[in-house]
Amino acid sequence: MKILVCITHVPDTTSKIQFTADNTKFDSTGVQYIIGPYDDYALARAVELRDQASGKLTVLNVGEADSEPTLRKALAIGADDAIRVNAAPKDSFFVAQQIAHYAKEGSYDLILMGRESIDFNGGMVHGMVGELLGMPSFSPVMKLDVDGSMVKMSREIEGGKELLEASLPLIAGCQEPIAEWKIPNMRGIMSARTKPLNVVEPVSQETQAEASKYSLPPAKGAVKLVDKDNVAELVKLLKNEAKVL
Protein backbone atom coordinates (compact mmCIF):
# COMPACT_ATOMS: atom_id res chain seq x y z
CA MET A 1 0.00 0.00 0.00
CA LYS A 2 1.28 3.44 -0.95
CA ILE A 3 0.35 6.19 1.50
CA LEU A 4 0.75 9.94 1.03
CA VAL A 5 0.55 12.24 4.05
CA CYS A 6 0.26 15.96 3.35
CA ILE A 7 1.65 18.12 6.15
CA THR A 8 1.59 21.82 6.89
CA HIS A 9 4.45 23.98 8.20
CA VAL A 10 2.73 26.24 10.73
CA PRO A 11 3.66 28.51 13.65
CA ASP A 12 3.79 26.86 17.05
CA THR A 13 0.66 27.65 19.03
CA THR A 14 2.82 29.32 21.70
CA SER A 15 4.42 31.74 19.22
CA LYS A 16 3.73 35.45 19.47
CA ILE A 17 2.08 36.53 16.22
CA GLN A 18 2.79 39.89 14.59
CA PHE A 19 2.18 41.47 11.20
CA THR A 20 4.18 43.92 9.08
CA ALA A 21 3.66 46.17 6.05
CA ASP A 22 0.49 47.78 7.42
CA ASN A 23 -0.85 44.39 8.59
CA THR A 24 -0.67 42.84 5.11
CA LYS A 25 2.17 40.37 5.76
CA PHE A 26 2.91 37.84 8.47
CA ASP A 27 6.08 38.57 10.44
CA SER A 28 7.96 35.28 10.87
CA THR A 29 10.77 36.82 12.94
CA GLY A 30 11.44 34.62 15.96
CA VAL A 31 8.54 32.28 15.18
CA GLN A 32 9.02 28.55 15.83
CA TYR A 33 7.42 26.29 13.21
CA ILE A 34 5.98 22.81 13.68
CA ILE A 35 4.07 20.11 11.82
CA GLY A 36 0.39 21.01 11.99
CA PRO A 37 -1.08 19.17 15.02
CA TYR A 38 -3.87 17.55 12.98
CA ASP A 39 -1.29 16.50 10.38
CA ASP A 40 0.70 14.92 13.21
CA TYR A 41 -2.27 12.65 13.93
CA ALA A 42 -2.51 11.72 10.25
CA LEU A 43 1.21 10.96 10.11
CA ALA A 44 1.10 8.82 13.25
CA ARG A 45 -1.75 6.70 11.87
CA ALA A 46 -0.03 6.44 8.49
CA VAL A 47 3.13 5.06 10.13
CA GLU A 48 1.02 2.39 11.84
CA LEU A 49 -0.77 1.45 8.61
CA ARG A 50 2.47 1.37 6.63
CA ASP A 51 4.04 -0.98 9.18
CA GLN A 52 0.99 -3.27 9.14
CA ALA A 53 0.90 -3.50 5.35
CA SER A 54 4.66 -3.34 4.68
CA GLY A 55 3.90 -0.42 2.38
CA LYS A 56 5.56 2.88 1.57
CA LEU A 57 4.86 6.22 3.23
CA THR A 58 5.62 9.56 1.56
CA VAL A 59 5.12 13.00 3.12
CA LEU A 60 4.44 16.09 1.03
CA ASN A 61 4.53 19.76 1.89
CA VAL A 62 3.82 22.79 -0.25
CA GLY A 63 6.34 25.29 1.08
CA GLU A 64 9.60 27.09 0.64
CA ALA A 65 13.07 26.01 1.80
CA ASP A 66 12.40 26.97 5.43
CA SER A 67 9.90 24.10 5.68
CA GLU A 68 12.55 21.41 5.16
CA PRO A 69 13.28 20.94 8.90
CA THR A 70 9.56 20.18 9.32
CA LEU A 71 9.78 17.55 6.58
CA ARG A 72 12.91 16.09 8.17
CA LYS A 73 10.99 15.72 11.42
CA ALA A 74 8.27 13.82 9.55
CA LEU A 75 10.98 11.55 8.12
CA ALA A 76 12.34 11.03 11.64
CA ILE A 77 8.87 10.05 12.85
CA GLY A 78 8.76 7.31 10.23
CA ALA A 79 8.06 8.49 6.68
CA ASP A 80 10.15 6.79 3.97
CA ASP A 81 10.67 9.81 1.74
CA ALA A 82 9.50 13.39 1.32
CA ILE A 83 8.42 15.79 -1.41
CA ARG A 84 8.59 19.56 -1.08
CA VAL A 85 6.70 21.58 -3.67
CA ASN A 86 8.86 24.68 -3.98
CA ALA A 87 6.24 27.40 -3.49
CA ALA A 88 4.61 29.40 -0.74
CA PRO A 89 1.15 27.95 0.08
CA LYS A 90 -0.83 30.85 -1.36
CA ASP A 91 -4.35 29.56 -0.75
CA SER A 92 -6.26 26.29 -0.34
CA PHE A 93 -6.92 25.82 -4.06
CA PHE A 94 -3.27 26.39 -4.97
CA VAL A 95 -2.14 23.82 -2.38
CA ALA A 96 -4.80 21.33 -3.50
CA GLN A 97 -3.65 21.59 -7.11
CA GLN A 98 -0.08 20.72 -6.13
CA ILE A 99 -1.14 17.79 -3.96
CA ALA A 100 -3.49 16.44 -6.62
CA HIS A 101 -0.83 16.58 -9.34
CA TYR A 102 1.85 14.73 -7.42
CA ALA A 103 -0.63 12.33 -5.84
CA LYS A 104 -1.84 11.35 -9.32
CA GLU A 105 1.74 10.84 -10.49
CA GLY A 106 2.48 8.64 -7.48
CA SER A 107 -0.71 6.53 -7.74
CA TYR A 108 -1.26 6.49 -3.98
CA ASP A 109 -3.82 4.22 -2.39
CA LEU A 110 -4.47 6.39 0.65
CA ILE A 111 -4.01 10.14 1.11
CA LEU A 112 -4.12 11.45 4.66
CA MET A 113 -3.86 14.98 6.02
CA GLY A 114 -5.09 16.95 9.00
CA ARG A 115 -8.70 18.07 9.12
CA GLU A 116 -7.38 21.63 8.83
CA SER A 117 -4.23 23.66 9.29
CA ILE A 118 -3.93 25.73 12.46
CA ASP A 119 -2.84 28.94 10.74
CA PHE A 120 -5.84 29.65 8.49
CA ASN A 121 -8.14 26.83 9.70
CA GLY A 122 -9.75 26.55 6.27
CA GLY A 123 -10.45 22.81 6.32
CA MET A 124 -10.94 22.78 2.54
CA VAL A 125 -7.86 21.15 1.01
CA HIS A 126 -8.89 17.50 1.44
CA GLY A 127 -12.23 18.12 -0.27
CA MET A 128 -10.61 20.02 -3.13
CA VAL A 129 -8.01 17.30 -3.66
CA GLY A 130 -10.80 14.73 -3.74
CA GLU A 131 -12.65 16.71 -6.39
CA LEU A 132 -9.52 17.20 -8.51
CA LEU A 133 -8.64 13.50 -8.36
CA GLY A 134 -12.17 12.13 -8.53
CA MET A 135 -11.69 10.36 -5.17
CA PRO A 136 -14.00 10.22 -2.15
CA SER A 137 -12.89 12.48 0.68
CA PHE A 138 -13.93 12.17 4.34
CA SER A 139 -13.39 14.55 7.27
CA PRO A 140 -13.02 14.80 10.21
CA VAL A 141 -11.97 11.16 10.60
CA MET A 142 -11.34 9.96 14.18
CA LYS A 143 -10.71 6.28 13.45
CA LEU A 144 -9.44 4.57 10.32
CA ASP A 145 -8.70 0.88 9.69
CA VAL A 146 -7.74 -0.79 6.43
CA ASP A 147 -8.68 -4.37 5.56
CA GLY A 148 -7.51 -5.24 2.07
CA SER A 149 -9.10 -2.68 -0.22
CA MET A 150 -11.78 -1.67 2.27
CA VAL A 151 -11.50 1.15 4.80
CA LYS A 152 -13.61 1.45 7.93
CA MET A 153 -13.84 4.93 9.44
CA SER A 154 -15.46 6.81 12.27
CA ARG A 155 -16.26 10.43 11.49
CA GLU A 156 -17.33 13.20 13.83
CA ILE A 157 -20.69 14.77 13.06
CA GLU A 158 -22.88 17.19 14.98
CA GLY A 159 -24.19 15.41 18.03
CA GLY A 160 -22.37 12.12 17.50
CA LYS A 161 -20.28 9.85 15.31
CA GLU A 162 -20.83 8.37 11.87
CA LEU A 163 -19.46 4.93 10.93
CA LEU A 164 -18.44 4.61 7.29
CA GLU A 165 -17.01 2.04 4.89
CA ALA A 166 -15.34 2.89 1.60
CA SER A 167 -12.91 1.31 -0.82
CA LEU A 168 -9.43 2.51 -1.67
CA PRO A 169 -8.25 4.88 -3.00
CA LEU A 170 -9.58 7.67 -0.80
CA ILE A 171 -8.66 10.82 1.09
CA ALA A 172 -9.15 11.46 4.81
CA GLY A 173 -8.82 14.61 6.89
CA CYS A 174 -7.77 13.37 10.33
CA GLN A 175 -8.13 14.45 13.93
CA GLU A 176 -7.67 12.96 17.39
CA PRO A 177 -8.03 10.22 18.58
CA ILE A 178 -7.10 8.48 15.30
CA ALA A 179 -3.62 7.80 16.73
CA GLU A 180 -1.22 9.06 19.37
CA TRP A 181 1.43 11.55 18.32
CA LYS A 182 4.82 9.95 17.75
CA ILE A 183 8.03 11.51 19.08
CA PRO A 184 11.14 10.91 16.93
CA ASN A 185 13.74 8.72 18.62
CA MET A 186 17.49 9.03 18.08
CA ARG A 187 17.54 6.29 15.46
CA GLY A 188 14.77 8.03 13.53
CA ILE A 189 16.52 11.41 13.73
CA MET A 190 19.77 9.93 12.42
CA SER A 191 18.10 8.00 9.58
CA ALA A 192 16.07 11.08 8.53
CA ARG A 193 19.30 12.79 7.45
CA THR A 194 19.81 10.32 4.61
CA LYS A 195 16.21 9.69 3.54
CA PRO A 196 15.23 11.21 0.16
CA LEU A 197 13.76 14.72 0.20
CA ASN A 198 12.84 15.69 -3.34
CA VAL A 199 12.18 19.30 -4.30
CA VAL A 200 9.80 19.80 -7.22
CA GLU A 201 8.41 22.91 -8.86
CA PRO A 202 4.73 23.87 -8.67
CA VAL A 203 2.55 22.82 -11.58
CA SER A 204 0.35 25.90 -11.50
CA GLN A 205 0.30 29.38 -10.00
CA GLU A 206 -3.49 29.70 -10.07
CA THR A 207 -5.14 30.92 -6.88
CA GLN A 208 -8.74 31.65 -5.92
CA ALA A 209 -8.29 33.91 -2.89
CA GLU A 210 -5.88 36.43 -1.44
CA ALA A 211 -5.61 37.81 2.09
CA SER A 212 -5.80 41.59 1.91
CA LYS A 213 -5.20 42.37 5.58
CA TYR A 214 -4.65 40.67 8.94
CA SER A 215 -5.64 41.69 12.44
CA LEU A 216 -4.97 40.41 15.94
CA PRO A 217 -7.82 39.50 18.28
CA PRO A 218 -8.73 42.12 20.89
CA ALA A 219 -6.50 42.15 23.95
CA LYS A 220 -7.90 40.36 26.96
CA GLY A 221 -9.41 42.63 29.60
CA ALA A 222 -8.66 42.58 33.30
CA VAL A 223 -10.11 39.77 35.38
CA LYS A 224 -13.00 40.70 37.64
CA LEU A 225 -13.48 38.68 40.79
CA VAL A 226 -16.99 38.27 42.12
CA ASP A 227 -17.81 37.02 45.59
CA LYS A 228 -19.26 33.51 45.41
CA ASP A 229 -22.36 34.67 47.28
CA ASN A 230 -23.02 37.67 45.01
CA VAL A 231 -24.96 35.86 42.29
CA ALA A 232 -26.82 38.99 41.18
CA GLU A 233 -23.55 40.81 40.43
CA LEU A 234 -22.23 37.81 38.49
CA VAL A 235 -25.36 37.62 36.35
CA LYS A 236 -25.19 41.36 35.72
CA LEU A 237 -21.57 41.17 34.52
CA LEU A 238 -22.23 38.16 32.32
CA LYS A 239 -25.21 39.87 30.74
CA ASN A 240 -23.96 43.46 30.34
CA GLU A 241 -20.20 43.10 29.92
CA ALA A 242 -19.43 39.57 28.78
CA LYS A 243 -22.71 39.50 26.82
CA VAL A 244 -23.03 35.75 27.10
CA LEU A 245 -26.52 35.76 28.59
Q: Where are the domains of the chain?
A: 2-218
Return the SS3 of 165: strand
- What pLDDT was estimated at residue 18? 87
Q: Find, among 47, 73, 24, the residue nearest to 178 by Cα.
A: 47
The whole-angstrom separation of Cα 7 and Cα 78 is 14
**52: which DSSP letter?**
H
pLDDT tens by residue, the chain, 245 residues: 999 999 999 999 888 888 888 888 888 888 899 999 999 999 999 999 999 988 999 999 999 999 999 999 999 999 999 999 999 998 999 999 999 999 999 999 999 999 999 888 889 999 999 999 999 999 999 999 999 999 999 998 888 899 999 999 999 999 999 999 898 999 999 999 999 999 999 998 888 888 888 888 888 777 888 888 899 999 998 898 888 88
For 2-218, CATH gives: 3.40.50.620
Rounded to two decimals, the pTM is 0.84
- What pLDDT was estimated at residue 194? 94
| Burial of 196 from C-beta contacts in 10 A (0-12 / 13-18 / 19+) | exposed
The whole-angstrom separation of Cα 176 and Cα 37 is 9
Return the SS3 of 22: coil
**80: which DSSP letter?**
S
